[in-house]
Structure 1
């Protein structure tokens, strides 16, 4: 199926993990992909080639340091010159765990900048064009920590809670943009629980160290604390949901936050 043919998707942090899985699904649906992230030339080439092989008519890399509003503006200007983003996926994120009293101030600033403020700047630049075209999709990868808290993650939890609030405001402001046939403009959050990505690897390593370096036991301990299914999610599962949210049929799904968390937030 090519339900997104003719659409352009900017997916931040799309050189690996959840971002790459989402970009791959959107490519399979026929969208052009504006790739973004931190990667060397070889990885960029491999990712863009794989997305074209998956079905994207075009996949190109766009640079932009999400900690800096000026660099974000340059990123969006480059994407606008490429045709503008019909779909924006705010996926890029960073993490640092430490008790509140020990959290370095610079970590707070960086996590808030990348995980929350960048989404604001990107949405502010992209959404007026979406409204003009009558179709637009913003998908913010908010994490289960946008819905509940955990110890030692103050900046991450604060940013993800803020991202959900930001998404609700934008969803309301753009709710009547476009028409059913065009697909309208929607803003939604996906809230993954434990997912096989690089961002959780330091936590797995720390837990594994408590079990003599046994990685499987480290993962099991993490899941037992929070995720009732005791199964990790695959990034492709988040990609499949993102693709559905981008389809025109999802025109009335807006302002919501969908957990993929194995029952974590049902407790």
Structure 2
């Protein structure tokens, strides 16, 4: 009986938390960050201020949770798309989805990515980056990545979020979405080659490609695999133009 009561209590707590975050997200979309006061959120969610403090600590905690809530919504959209045959096209689609989400949810996006404190270390933000890293890993395994996987993922993330924030800052009638396309293709050109990397980029490309498939090898001991991984990472890091 106690277990049933505990489960019911936990479910009610989570329902209340979700209702508060949904109300906060609506207020954020309508009036920006300043509209997300504990009083306004409490009124919109039908709870008292002490409930918000108990669940989130303070307004900063509420905003942190709201950033995570926003990234979680974004992730639910990204995971709806099944991988295609071409990992580069999947990367393009992911970029466009990212920018589109930001333009459709500017205040939430600015909270998520405009302040490095918000979302940058949350589990949801890490999961979002993992999805991007997964795209990059597929490209590496296809032998089409000309730089190290980590650098490629960081570059795509930086360029994508920066482009989105720039577009958000412009009046809607002044936005030129070709900026996003140009930035996307510039990044792709910088990290991807159409020719298999061993032929196109020498030892760096070969190291990147081998590093991507190293976890699949069975001929090496764990120690040997770890040592080879370290060597390949050092070669792949020597990828400056």
Please, what TM-score do these two structures have when normalized by structure 2? 0.32
Structure of higher RCO (CA pairs closer than 8 Å, 6+ residues apart): 1
Greater per-residue strand proportion: 1
Please, what TM-score do these two structures have when normalized by structure 1? 0.30
